[in-house]
A and B are shown apart, each in its own frame.
Chain A
Amino acid sequence: MSSEDTDDPPNHGLKGPGPDERPQPDGRRNDQGIRIDPEAEAKREPRRAVFSALVEDEPGVLSRVAGLISRRQFNIESLTVGPTTIEDHSRITMVVEEPEPSIDQIEKQLAKLKPVIAVGELDRDAIRTELVLLKVDGSEPDKVHAVTDMYDGKTLNAGHQTITVQLTGDEDRIEHAIDAFRQFGIIEIARTGDTALARGNKATVPGEKPGTANEPTKPRNIR
């Protein structure tokens, strides 16, 4: 209903050309709000990202981080937390699987949390490792020990009925090892999730100055 021909507005509503009578632009944005350039249109696939965050070790810090991740619906694979050499500072290592703009958002949103001193995504070449405890059936101890040796594992407990081993390593190694242990029947498993540090002299968290034996790591906020 266009009311261009009359000067008076309708009783309910406004006058003016209707939606069909207006010029509309051809351009579009994708669901991440990026203008779609036909030449460079690529669907962004989720990827795995490892974040390291230095946080103030105050009560509730883990719940603040976990709460942020869950309320913004970020897909988290693992989260580890532990003290550092600085009193009252902890390091959180987090693995997430998200497409690109969300990975950026996770980092920025984490950085906004007051107890988060600094946060950054680790490079691909970062040192990443996980610790796994595995309890398997103990009826074939020799075979279990052979597989444990093969994956540089450690037998922590060997009884008549169960054997418990410890494995460490990156994701590929752990997955292969777990596959190998399946033949014995895995009774229980506990995994820590990845923990990680940047390789070599690189700082794990932006602004973090790697320390020395005499002077341990000091965080420096560069934001």
Chain B
Amino acid sequence: MSKQASRQPDVDIDESSQPEESKSPVTTGAESVIRALENDGIEAVFGVQGGAIMPVYDALYHSDIRHITMAHEQGAAHAADAYATVKNKPGVCMATSGPGATNLVTGLADANMDSDRLLALTGQVPSDMVGSDAFQETDTIGVTAPLTKHNYFADDPDSIGDTVGEALALTDEGRPGPTLVDLPKNTTLAETDSEPGPAKAPENARAQYIADTEAVEEAAAKITAADRPILLFGGGVIKANASPVARSFAQEYEIPVVTTMPGIGSFPENHELSLSWAGMHGTGYANMAITHTDLLIGVGTRFDDRLTGGVDTFAPEAEIIHIDIDPAEISKNVHADYPLIGDATRVIEQLDDAIDQKPNTDEWQAQCQAWKQAYPMDYATPEDEPVKPQFVVEVLDEATSDEAIVTTGVGQHQMWASQYWTYTKPRTWISSHGLGTMGYGLPAAIGARVAAEDTQEVVCIDGDGSFLMTIQALSVAVRENFDITVAVLNNDYIGMVRQWQDAFFEGRHMAAEYNWCPEFDKLAEAFGASGWRVDEYEEVAPTVEQALAYDGPSVVDFHIDPEENVYPMVPSGGANGEFALTEDQL
């Protein structure tokens, strides 16, 4: 296994270490804020103007940093979050005080749950007015403290730039996550010539990157001795840029791989060792493997309840090796027999060095292959019925390159997008996992577009309910002529709720019917995007071709089978091994 594949630097070192010969000296707190972003190599910021943040925007006027004005602050946070994931750099969003800041909250909570590198800069009323219920005042620090790694009230113009630098560095120290700097207007307006130094994470937040050697050796011995080992790759594998080492490790020791949903793309799903992803709507074969394994090697996963199902039946015969950079994730939800605290890349390399002999997994691999045969993800396509959403996803996948980026909202469409698209590269699956934020998809597509290479297609697979929640962002895509394709899997329902109502609430569709949605193709045209509507199978592929070929934002409103459900399904708290394949098995 290659020893070069160590942790990638977070920013391009050549670029960030260039002398700032052409930069004019800082004169205000606001300029110091922007200088801190420039020093860290930030190229793009997503935000919305407003009273208390105006001085910072004014400083941005003279900067080379690109600002993408969003239609709503929630979209700014999601766009910056997706930008961060695609670009492998911190994403930055900006908003004013009060409603601007509270509108960011959903995006911060989302980034916090998914450990994304997001910095939020919020305006605040002048510090002598804080606490007086001033116009557009809100306790942003209080509101966002539970949703951030840390937040800062920057009321000193001389240190404001260093504070922003520290907040940026903290997004990526150890386990990534969001931070926020609240900027009172008097501080950003104040005169200062204090240039921010290099961004440094606070001493207290320094993480452990190398795992304890003895623990590694114990775990290595367990791997050699295992009969039915499984590698479970979580989102942390991607965040640590560990996909290449993780992949070599799986191949070298011939251990079947299951991912979590955020871990999609960490291991190529077309690889013979891949069992796709496990959990509530994971594949039957992944859930069988995770149920019957005798050694579960979890990397960068927090054993979320949507993955484990009921903890009592989760991998009940397995010893667990848990690799994570956050010690608080060890034995939080599922007990780790062999905790290895450290960076995913480093620890996998440590394990690789420590393993003397690979496990004999021939029989186990054959069993996993047999489960693949037994539980295929095939679906029916009756020609006289409405189009199946799975078919749309597969057509989109085929029409795009391996580098194409998929963003989604939350619900049934998200599950089909993750089940029926074959992901082979990290940072191509961009979704809202832990928080489950409907409306994430479109602003995320905008952020992904700004971050992606021109050759990468950006496809937002959305639901009718999700699309409606942040549809105002389409105006941004039109203004900037962003080349994104929105595929709405429209079933006239808030579909996952409808599926649960059918399964668990005797079919009472309370507040789940969405047949009042606008005609999205026409609405797209009204925004200035191009729009199509698709009702028949034969229209799917040609329309997908046209939409992808269109240079700018395009929306295809696919009217799909409204009764289609997502399977397999492990009911909440159920046993992964007892996943249902049809409604009557629930």
Minimum CB–CB distance for B169 against chain A, Å: 12
B581 near A18: Cβ-Cβ < 8 Å: yes
Q: Report Cα–Cα, A18/B583, bound state, in Å.
A: 11
- In chain B, positions 543-586 with a C-beta closer than 8 Å to chain A are 563-565, 567-568, 575, 577-585
Identify 14 residue pairs between A and B in the complex whose beta-carbon atoms are under 8 Å apart, listed by A's number. Answer: A12-B564, A12-B565, A14-B284, A16-B284, A22-B577, A24-B575, A26-B316, A27-B316, A29-B316, A33-B331, A67-B145, A104-B331, A111-B327, A114-B204
Nearest opposing residue in chain B for A68, CB measure = B146
Q: Report Cα–Cα, A63/B584, bound state, in Å.
A: 49
Q: Which residues of B contact A1 (CB under 8 A)?
A: 582, 584-585
Using A13-B582, A16-B375, A22-B577 as known contacts, list a sample of 16 further A-B pairs with CB atoms less than 8 Å apart, ordered by residue number in A.
A1-B584, A14-B582, A17-B375, A18-B585, A28-B316, A33-B314, A33-B331, A33-B333, A68-B146, A101-B331, A101-B335, A113-B150, A114-B170, A116-B204, A117-B204, A221-B204
Among the 9-residue stretches B270-278, B346-354, B378-386, B525-533, the one with 4 or more Cβ atoms under 8 Å from chain A is B378-386
Q: Which of B205, B288, B292, B326 contacts A114 (CB 8 A)?
A: B205
Q: Which 6 A-B pairs have the closest CB atoms?
A: A27-B316, A13-B582, A108-B328, A33-B334, A114-B150, A19-B578
A12 near B583: Cβ-Cβ < 8 Å: yes
* A25 CB-CB contact with B under 8 Å: yes
B203 near A14: Cβ-Cβ < 8 Å: no
- Count residues of chain B with CB under 8 A from any CB of chain A: 60
Q: Which of A24, A67, A71, A114 contacts B291 (CB 8 A)?
A: A24
* A46 CB-CB contact with B under 8 Å: no
B581 near A15: Cβ-Cβ < 8 Å: yes
Q: Which residues of B contact A67 (CB under 8 A)?
A: 145-146
Q: Which residues of B contact A23 (CB under 8 A)?
A: 292
B334 near A22: Cβ-Cβ < 8 Å: no
Q: Which residues of A contact B578 (CB under 8 A)?
A: 19, 22, 24
- In chain B, positions 294-337 with a C-beta closer than 8 Å to chain A are 303, 311-314, 316-319, 326-328, 330-335
Among the 9-residue stretches A3-11, A128-136, A181-189, the one with 4 or more Cβ atoms under 8 Å from chain B is A3-11
Q: Report Cα–Cα, A182/B313, bound state, in Å.
A: 52
* B510 CB-CB contact with A under 8 Å: no
Nearest opposing residue in chain A for B303, CB measure = A33
* A48 CB-CB contact with B under 8 Å: no
Minimum CB–CB distance for B384 against chain A, Å: 11
**1/0 per residue A114-125: CB within 8 Å of B?**
111100000000
Q: Report Cα–Cα, A123/B481, bound state, in Å.
A: 63
Q: Which residues of B contact A29 (CB under 8 A)?
A: 311-314, 316, 334-335
Q: Which residues of B contact A108 (CB under 8 A)?
A: 327-328, 330
* B153 CB-CB contact with A under 8 Å: yes
Nearest opposing residue in chain B for A30, CB measure = B312
Q: Which residues of B contact A104 (CB under 8 A)?
A: 331
Nearest opposing residue in chain A for B155, CB measure = A59
Nearest opposing residue in chain A for B327, CB measure = A108
Binding site for B on A (CB under 8 A): 1, 8-19, 22-35, 56, 59-60, 63-64, 67-68, 71, 101, 104-105, 108-109, 111-117, 221, 223
A15 near B376: Cβ-Cβ < 8 Å: yes
B292 near A25: Cβ-Cβ < 8 Å: yes
- In chain B, positions 341-382 with a C-beta closer than 8 Å to chain A are 374-380, 382
* B9 CB-CB contact with A under 8 Å: no
Q: Which residues of A contact B583 (CB under 8 A)?
A: 12-13
B312 near A63: Cβ-Cβ < 8 Å: no
Q: Report Cα–Cα, A23/B292, bound state, in Å.
A: 9
B332 near A14: Cβ-Cβ < 8 Å: no
Q: Which residues of B contact A22 (CB under 8 A)?
A: 288, 577-578
* B25 CB-CB contact with A under 8 Å: no
Q: Report Cα–Cα, A221/B206, bound state, in Å.
A: 9
Minimum CB–CB distance for A157 against chain B, Å: 35
A16 near B312: Cβ-Cβ < 8 Å: no
Q: Which residues of A contact B507 (CB under 8 A)?
A: none
Nearest opposing residue in chain B for A101, CB measure = B331
